[in-house]
Amino acid sequence: MILYLSTTTPWRSDYCTEDGRIVYKVNSPRNTWGGAKDIRITTLGSSATYSTLAQIDYYGESFFGEQSTITVGGTTLPAKAVLRKDGWAIFGYGDRLFQGPDGQIYRWTMDSTKCRLFKKDNDGTLVATYHHESLGILSAARPASLEISASGEQIVD
């Protein structure tokens, strides 16, 4: 499954199927200096209305004591408890581990060109890859997209 982003900003974009159907809306009003970035993820429900799937109150890597939080299913937890750091990286941008709804442990790897999600199993199964937009200068033009493998489709929501 490939979801195409309506903008180049993942936290302020519609995630659409190839035929243009909106599956998720991710909205974040522009934050002011010193304020949290409120990120809301919604999905189209059975009654043709959007319902909130998750909310992230993001303070970044803060030195001032504020904690980013993630709310899913009415439960709010510190982001540090949900997305645990794995290994060491400069400026805190290392890999993150989390437990999926299926009980499996997953690893987000982030580098300058791609963000990938793997199962933390013996095979290191690739679950999803975020592709930045390409303007078509050095490669074919394409919008930003989230490519989800068949093994990842069961945990999408």
Q: pLDDT tens digits, residue range 80-100?
A: 888 888 876 665 567 889 998
pTM to 2 decimal places:
0.80
Mean pLDDT of 109-117: 82
Matching residue, tokens 């941008």:
93
Asked if 81 contacts 59 with a C-beta cutoff of 8 angstroms, the reply is no
Supply the pLDDT for residue 129.
Answer: 93
* 149's tokens: 């493998």
Question: Rounded distance, CA 145 to CA 77, Å?
Answer: 28
What is the domain partition of the chain in residue ranges?
2-82
Query: Collapsing DSSP states into helix, strand and coil, what is residue 5?
Result: strand
Q: Would the pLDDT of 152 be above 90?
A: no
User: Which two structure tokens, joined as six digits, stand for 135?
Assistant: 């303007």
CB atoms within 10 A of CB 15: 20
Rounded distance, CA 157 to CA 153, Å?
Answer: 9
